[in-house]
Amino acid sequence: KSNLQALWADLAVAKPQTVILLIDLRIIEDPADAKRKVERFVASFQGDFPGAKVVVSGSVVPASIAGLLPTNSTAHIPREEYKLWRALSSTPDFKEVLFGDYGVVSPEYSDFEMEPEYISSRAAPKVFYTYSDSFFIARGRRFKTHKFRQYFDISDVIVNELFFRLRTPHYSYGEQYIHERSYKAPARSKRTGNPGTWIKSSTAAHITFVVNNI
């Protein structure tokens, strides 16, 4: 609190139009405990520093996807950050709290350099697709042994799911990217994509979905 008081004195001099406090929960392992801590902190904060907007952010995606599912498998993982925000905003005292998240990338993500041959020998494709209050995650096998064509198989699985939005390529760039690599495309793309392009398309689909539902 003493640190915030000193900061607020500086803010008063700067006279900003808006002050936003971001509460970053990082990886949410205990949703009930996280909710209690956020409620306690926000109630105290707003009592001492009225007028600021509050954003709560977090994720369930660990640094290593192996913590969620094994290779060559799919899983449905609850988006605890969204469920926590929804629980907060449904109560009068916290209805103004804003939503924030990390999309499909872990808070512990590190963009370190890796030799291409090491990536192919150790890494495997993984694709996130956001729907309702969950992530659908598909994880393949090592690129070295099963190649990048696995992304075609993953696309086929996603477009057949009932939650694949509108069952057309027109919902967002992300849906279009998946559709073009599936068997439902008029002519399946010759490009499988790579981890970077799949993160980009999955993020586009995620952001479009979140914005349309909040």
Per residue in 45-67, pLDDT (tens digit) is 988 888 889 999 999 999 888 88
Instruction: Show the tokens assigned to 102.
Output: 């990390």
Task: Verify that 103 and 185 share a domain, yes or no.
Answer: no
Asked if residue 119 and residue 100 are part of one domain, the reply reads: no
| Diameter of the chain measured on Cα atoms | 62
Q: Closest by alpha carbon to 122, among 110, 112, 130, 114? A: 114
* Paired residues of 92 in beta bridges: none
Distance between CA atoms of 153 and 69, rounded to whole angstroms?
Answer: 17
State residue 114's pLDDT score. 53
Question: Into how many domains does the chain fold?
Answer: 2
**Residues 123 and 202 grouped into a single domain:** yes
pLDDT at 21: 92
Phi and psi, residue 19, nearest 5°: -120, 125
Regarding whether 121 and 211 lie in a shared domain, the answer is yes
Cα separation, 130 vs 78, in Å, equals 10
pLDDT of residue 117: 53
CA atoms within 13 Å, Cβ hemisphere of 79: 24
My answer on whether 136 and 178 are in the same domain is yes
* Six-digit token string for 168: 């057309």
Could you report the per-residue pLDDT of 152-185, keeping only the tens digit for each? 999 999 999 999 997 665 689 999 999 999 999 9
The whole-number pLDDT of residue 67 equals 86
Task: Report if residue 72 sits inside a domain.
Answer: no
pLDDT at 2 (0 to 100)? 87
Q: Which residues of the chain have pLDDT under 50?
A: none
Q: For residue 144, give its domain range.
A: 114-214
175 by Cβ neighbours in 10 Å (0-12 / 13-18 / 19+) ranks as buried
